[in-house]
Amino acid sequence: MRYLPHTSGDRAAMLSAIGVGSMDDLFADIPEAVRLKEPPDLPRHAGEQEVERQLSALANRNVAASSTPFFIGCGAYKHHVPATVDHLIQRSEFLTAYTPYQPEIAQGTLQVLFEFQTQVALLTGMEMANASMYDGSTGCGEAVLMAHRLTRRSKAILSGGLHPHYRAVVETLSRMSGAEAVARGARPEEAGSSDIAAAIDEDTSCVVVQNPDFFGRLRDLTELAEAAHAKGALLIVVVTEVVSLGAVQPPGSMGADIVVAEGQSIGNGLNFGGPYVGLFATRQKFTRQMPGRVCGETVDADGRRGFVLTLSTREQHIRREKATSNICTNSGLCALAFTIHLSLLGDAGLKRLAALNHASAVALADALSSISGVEILTSTFFNEFTIRVPGDASDVIDALVEKGVLGGVPVSRLLPGSHKDLIVVAATEANRAEDREAYVKALREVLA
Amino acid sequence: MSMNREGRPTAPAATGGGKPPTFTGNRALQIEEPLLFETGSLEKTGVDLPEPAKHESRLGGLERQGGTGLAGLTEPQTMRHYVRLSQKNYAIDTGFYPLGSCTMKHNPRLNEVMARLPGFGDVHPLQPERTVQGALALMDMLSHWLLELTGMAGVALSPKAGAHGELCGMAAIKAAHDAKGEKRSTVLVPESAHGTNPATAALLGYKVTSIPARDNGTVSVDAMRAALSGEVAGIMLTNPNTCGLFEPDIVEIAEAVHDAGAYFYCDGANFNAIVGRARPGDLGVDCMHINLHKTFSTPHGGGGPGSGPVVFSEAILPYAPVPFVKRNGEGLSLVEHEGDAGDAKPFGRQSAFHGQMGMFVRTMAYMLSHGSDGMRQASEDAVLNANYLRARLRDVMTQPFGDQICMHEVLFDDTFLTDSGVTTLDFAKALIDEGFHPMTVYFPLVAHGAMLVEPTESETKEALDQFIAVLRDLAKAAKAGDAERFTGAPRYAPRARLDETRAAREPRLRWTPETQAEAAE
């Protein structure tokens, strides 16, 4: 087996040095009755070529986003990732290193994390950020728990525009941990946030709101932040499309206390849902209640600048059952991809990328609105919006697949039993004019 | 200095103790690299994007005002910046990385290539199911392999890492008690456990009771029985445990737990020691997470991403979270909502989408490559290597629970350093100077000055022999009173020891223009 270096001579010599007669002797602590006598009933080892064939055959049964006009979003987005990013994250020294427990020989990873934290803070308009969460949705759950700790209250109010998976994560975590999560109904047509503000009471620890929301709508959250703060509650803002922050006012400038975002759009592929990277940013005064790893600047014994993991007295390996979270491994390599891509973009590139996305979505919305029976429900949006179609949206999406177009997500897939005629449609810089034309043509035919 | 006839030096001059500083602070291949924000600028970019078409803004007056402050780099700058940073890291590919409990085994590159096939890497989680049948088939195949290897009834693939898997398993256990109308308050956790175990139990509102280890480093069934009661929801036991020992009473412990109406959560962080040799299902385990990034070698990436699927017994499986894959006539489909789970009663959802697909593909490539025979051999070699280190070091280093056969990792303590003026940390830092990544230090907490060494199956006998020679030399030097070799280490790393107290006391967690100005003074 190509990965295992010992010869049978090596094994014999080592068993002899250990002072045992056979490999079985090393496993003598496993009770006799439960020892496996034979290897499990699975195929024997295989060469590279054979493995490639088997896995490629499976991969070929999937439709890749780049192979077709593609308009699916809802929390994960098709963007171009520069070749440099994937090359650099496959550098052995990044790819095959562990969490930086020995900082003297992990300054590469640590400096990247420091850069990552800075970028996340700048992007979200917040004061500081941690070294990543698993993804946006789990970060959202952690943000709610953090708000409970900070306010010593235990009720979260979830906006109806919050991604249904994020909402489910918070509801699950709340149910399991004895906290309360009150979700508002999802109403694609609603405007304004005054009804959420009215629901905030003395038991409310936080309000969770997504911007742009699940339906694509953009909103000024300033008044909601003020309403939350007036009642001693925190505002948690979720961003599932971080590219929007190149064009849209960041949550930090609207009064957010915690910002959680899905960072996949920058540097990371679609990967059928993971691995992705959660961004988690907050105010400086809340730093010590943050979950997860944090990298900080310091100096070495010779006075040179260096970086270490810090504030670990919040964490499970020190605090055990009193930790702020149980998170250990996070999304280091995806954070690296994010940081490299964002370095390549810079302020100028990010703004341009965001403008391209917005232009692409505006062009698509205008084109789709010309189709008889199609209604655009979202008047303010970034690169994603909701349309109403005559009939069942799932059937429409299936019929579009027949025509080679992946046309969006039927809302009923995420909110079963409701909004059966709605489709959330995303457009990015990856869509060309001919992709939009193909979509319009196909949808026109499907609805005819 | 020796020279040839032309006056060219033929051997390097001795540098003595101190090396003269360089003008730049660089040391040949070790190059100081400023922060991105100190070299980049707001105008620079490394991408060529077209001018957006003219369009009317639909941002509703929410346009971002002013700049983001994000520094950009051109492509050649980006390449050099991150390649230079990478060169300040130690990695499996550059050397021996015996970090106990972390399983730093070889990361095959075939797995990286497979995960990047467009049919896996460029597929959206919310595509219509019939456009992703190959992805669902891969998840189904992975489930089958994991269940064969563990002897369990079912699996949740969605947890994102080990700790997330713990939360999954313990939440399912809690749901199982809830379904019976039982409110139980306590979870038993051995004191040698990973910190994630008590943190997970606490997240779910459980009180944590610590179970002490007996003199040989394992948990006794009597200690467990004494702590069990109608208030105990479950135990969280790592097996093999964090001292590198297989829990010999595990079957009796499982029976005692079940007799008390509680469930057995097994932390599977060390499953790599027993793959193909024993199955958790046969040991009486109710749930176990599997760190795909440990046992099945998906790369650690400097701190993730991981992946932590959880396998379940028949008793707990009905409470496993959504989503999961199910057979649907000829094809496969996803159950994404609790209401669609039929007779099952999922405890909820733990994350968006379906789990760490990229890690599933890498794991499947690892499993297919090794096969049943190779995975068993890998476990055997991992255990062989750890025991070989133990046997060759037992006369110079000390073991907290006596010299006994271990599994895939061997635990030493700092008794052999007594009165040497050298701590476990010093010892670890001296290893850095010798070109090795240190072992895990100060964990598990049950050993004083713990040093947990996990060689993995990837190392040759020659590499192990060299490591042994170095450890023997270091142990000898410590005993001989050469403390300075240790307390001043590392001397040859990109940085000397870093001031962690200062980092925590005055946290500086991001770059700002002000800190740059300070640094320039």
> In which domain, by residue range, is B233 found?
112-366
Preceding amide of B507 cis, omega within 30 = no
What predicted TM-score, i.e. pTM, was given to this entire model? 0.97
* Same domain as B288, residue B406: no
B465 touches chain A (CB under 8 A): no
Q: Do B419 and B323 belong to one domain?
A: no
Beta-bridged to residue A248, according to DSSP, are: B63
For residue B498, which residues of chain A lie inside 8 Å, CB to CB?
A: 103-104, 298-301, 306-308
Residue A364 scores a pLDDT above 50: yes
Q: What is the pLDDT of residue B15?
A: 42
pLDDT at B17 over 60: no
Indicate whether B332 and B386 sit together in one domain: no
Q: Does residue B250 belong to any structural domain of this protein?
A: yes
Among A215, A216, A213, which Cα is nearest to A237's? A213
Q: For residue A192, what pLDDT band results from cuts at 50, 70 and 90? A: low
Overall average pLDDT of the B206-218 stretch:
94
pLDDT for B2 beyond 80: no
Q: Does the ipTM exceed 0.95?
A: yes
Specify which residues B132 forms β-bridges with: A62
**Torsion angle (degrees, nearest 10) of CA A208, A211, A215, A219:** 100
pLDDT confidence of residue B9: 64
Q: Is residue B499 part of a domain?
A: no
Specify whether A93 is located in the same domain as A71.
no
Range of the domain at A428: 65-80+346-447
Do B301 and B412 belong together in one domain? no
Q: Is residue B501 part of a domain?
A: no
Residues B430 and B354 in one domain: no
For residue A374, being part of any structural domain is answered with yes
Position A24 pLDDT exceeds 90: yes
Instruction: Please give the structure tokens belonging to residue B129.
Output: 């199911």
Are residues B165 and B246 both part of a single domain? yes
How confident is the model over A393-431, as pLDDT tens digits? 999 999 999 999 999 999 999 999 989 999 999 999 999
Residue B1 has pLDDT above 60, yes or no: no
> Nearest C-alpha of chain B: how many angstroms from A197?
20
CATH code of the domain covering residue A125: 3.40.640.10
pLDDT by residue (tens digit) across B104-127? 999 999 999 999 999 999 999 999
Measured CA to CA, the distance from residue A250 to residue A261 in angstroms comes to: 12
Residue written as token pair 């005064």: A285
Query: Are B349 and B391 contained in the same domain?
Result: no
Q: Rounded mean pLDDT of chain B?
A: 95
Task: Tell me whether residues B348 and A176 touch, CB distance under 8 A.
Answer: yes
Q: Buried b / exposed e across B113-148, counting CB within 10 Å, b at 16+?
A: bbbbbbbbbbbbbbbbbebbbbbbbbbebbbebbbe
Clarify whether residues A74 and A193 are in a common domain.
no
Q: Could you give the CA distance from residue B292 to residue B162 in angstroms, rounded to a whole number?
A: 9
* B147 touching A (Cβ < 8 Å): no
The reply to whether B44 touches chain A by the CB within 8 Å rule is yes
Instruction: Say if the Cβ atoms of A347 and B71 lie within 8 Å.
Output: yes
Closest chain A residue to B464, measured at CA: A14
CATH of the domain at B415: 3.90.1150.10
Q: What is the pLDDT of residues B187-203, one digit of tens each?
A: 999 988 999 999 999 99
Q: Could you tell me what percent of chain B has a pLDDT over 90? A: 92
Q: Does residue B30 sit within a domain?
A: no
Q: Which of A312-326, B20-34, B208-222, B290-304 has the lowest mean pLDDT?
A: A312-326
Regarding whether B333 and B427 lie in a shared domain, the answer is: no
Residues A393 and A257 in one domain: no
The model's pLDDT over A88-116, given as tens digits with 9 standing for 90+, comes to 999 999 999 999 999 999 999 999 999 99
The verdict on A97 and A244 lying in the same domain is yes
Give the residue from A289, A240, A288 showing the smallest Cα distance to A266: A240
A60 domain-assigned: no
Q: How far apart are CA B411 and CA B422, in angstroms?
A: 18
Contact between B373 and A96 using a beta-carbon 8 Å cutoff: no
Are B308 and B207 in the same domain? yes
- For residue B517, name the pLDDT band (cuts at 50, 70, 90): low
Share of chain A above pLDDT 90, in %: 93
Most distant CA pair in chain A: distance in Å?
83
Let me know if residue A36 belongs to a domain.
no
Q: A188 with A228, same domain?
A: yes
| CATH code, domain with A73 | 3.90.1150.10
- Res A321 pLDDT > 90: no
Give the model confidence (pLDDT) of B477-495 as tens digits. 999 999 999 999 999 999 9
Confidence grade of residue A134 (pLDDT, cut at 50, 70, 90)? very high
Residue A138 has pLDDT above 50, yes or no: yes
DSSP B134-181: HHHHHHHHHHHHHHHHHT-SEEE----SHHHHHHHHHHHHHHHHHHTT
- B256 and B144 belong to one structural domain: yes
Number of domain units in chain B: 2
Residue B427 in tokens = 């010892």
CB atoms B45 and A345 under 8 Å: yes
Query: Which of A320, A341, A362 is the last residue before a domain boundary?
Result: A341
Taking only Cα atoms into account, the Rg of chain B, rounded to an integer number of angstroms, comes to: 27
pLDDT confidence of residue B16: 43
Would you call B305 and A350 a contact, using CB atoms and an 8 Å cutoff? no
Q: Does residue A152 sit in the same domain as residue A258?
A: yes
Give yes or no for a contact between B62 and A360, defined as CB atoms under 8 angstroms apart: no
CB atoms A345 and B72 under 8 Å: yes
* CA dist list (Å): B294 to A149, B20, B301: 32, 43, 12
The count of structural domains within chain A is: 2
Q: Do residues B128 and B264 both lie within one domain?
A: yes
* Smallest Cα distance from A105 to chain B, Å: 5
Which among B131, B369, B380 has the least Cβ separation from residue A23?
A: B380
Tell me the mean pLDDT in the region B13-29.
76
List the 252-271 stretch of B: residues with Cβ below 8 A of A.
none
Please report the residues numbered 214 through 243 in chain B whose beta carbons come closer than 8 angstroms to any beta carbon of chain A.
Answer: none
Q: What length is written for chain A?
A: 448
